[in-house]
Amino acid sequence: MPQHTKTALSVNLNKVALVRNTRHLGIPSITRAATLCLEAGAAGITVHPRPDERHIRAGDVHDLAALLKAWPDREFNIEGNPFHNLMDFVRQVRPHQVTFVPDSEGQFTSDHGWTFPQDAERLKPLIAEAKALGARVSLFMDPIPEAMAAAKAVGADRVELYTETYASAYGMPKQAEVLAAFKATAEAALKAGLGINAGHDLNRDNLHTFLTTVPGVQEVSIGHALIADALELGYTETVRAYNACMSQV
């Protein structure tokens, strides 16, 4: 049986901002979305302010940081590339957690994790700085067990397992093989002393199997599918539905 950990749901609001940015009217509101998700039981809010500001803008990061101060038991997670714009946000708003993601500028969406040993030396000082500023540091990683000790060695607190390969294999013949790689990676992460997050293309269908197979997942950040569900069900019912999926683990 996998090690049982209550998993926290961090709602990624990128896609709310994407819709908002197609007009100059300020709707849908990011802070209203965050408030409704937190009221419904989300454990935190995630954003990925990309350098091109296609969805989350700098002002959203500051507005959400201010909002979350009224929710001391919830967390703000900012994702991004620390060699682009992420560190300025860390210095300015001091989030609870930062997730370092090796995306290029203008990348369509995140599609791979950090590579060791190649990225190790340049990551170390930025991880140390983010931690000194009070943030937990998570590294976005592919499901490669051998990389977990290296992630620990550069100073990371957690890894975020990049779950797209699982999501696209879900319900397909290769699901078991792909899940086995995530399970082995999580076991290696736990052995190395790392915490475990997971995210990308998780949804209400694939979440339960992932969490009952992969041990120790402390947080999932979910955006695209969750916001799509919220268009049909509303934020409140949607967050409750995701939390219900996770409480059955």
Ligand X SMILES: CC(=O)[C@@H](O)[C@H](O)COP(=O)(O)O
Ligand Y SMILES: NCC(=O)COP(=O)(O)O
Query: Which parts are annotated binding residues for 3-amino-2-oxopropyl phosphate?
Result: 12, 23, 201, 223-224
Examine residue 140 and tell whether it contacts ligand X (CB under 6 A).
yes
Tokens of 87: 């560190």
CA 233 → CA 26, 50, 188, 206, 237, distances in Å?
A: 21, 28, 38, 18, 6
Residue 152: CB minimum distance to ligand X, A: 20
Cα–chain center distance at 204: 16
Residue 51: CB minimum distance to ligand Y, A: 17
Among 98, 222, 230, 245, binds ligand Y (CB under 6 A): 222
Among 7, 8, 9, 12, binds ligand Y (CB under 6 A): 12
Examine residue 44 and tell whether it contacts ligand Y (CB under 6 A).
no
Catalytic residue among 75, 187, 200, 219: 200
Examine residue 82 and tell whether it contacts ligand X (CB under 6 A).
no
Closest alpha carbon to 198 in 133, 131, 249, 155: 249
Q: Is 229 left (phi over 0), alpha (psi -120 to 50) or beta?
A: alpha
Which CB sits closer to ligand X, 92 or 109? 109
Strands 195-199 vs 75-80: parallel, antiparallel or unpaired: unpaired
Examine residue 229 and tell whether it contacts ligand X (CB under 6 A).
no
Examine residue 102 and tell whether it contacts ligand Y (CB under 6 A).
no
H/E element holding 97?
Answer: strand 97-100
Strands 8-12 vs 75-80: parallel, antiparallel or unpaired: unpaired
Examine residue 143 and tell whether it contacts ligand Y (CB under 6 A).
no
Pick one of ligand Y, ligand X, none as the site partner of residue 222 (Cβ within 5 to 8 A by kind). ligand Y
Residue 7: CB minimum distance to ligand Y, A: 14
Which CB sits closer to ligand Y, 121 or 228? 228
Amino acid at 43: A
Catalytic residue among 79, 160, 187, 219: 79
Cβ 154 vs Cβ 123: under 8 Å: yes
Which CB sits closer to ligand X, 48 or 158? 48
Whether 200 is catalytic = yes
Residue 229: CB minimum distance to ligand X, A: 15
Burial (0-12, 13-18, 19+ Cβ within 10 Å), 51:
middle
Rounded Cα gap, residues 44 and 211, in angstroms = 18
Rounded Cα gap, residues 112 and 100, in angstroms = 11
Q: Tell me the catalytic residues.
A: 48, 79, 200
Give the interface with ligand Y as residue ranges (CB under 6 A). Answer: 12, 46, 79, 160, 199-202, 221-225
Give the interface with ligand X as residue ranges (CB under 6 A). Answer: 12, 14, 48, 50, 79, 101, 109-110, 140, 199-200, 223
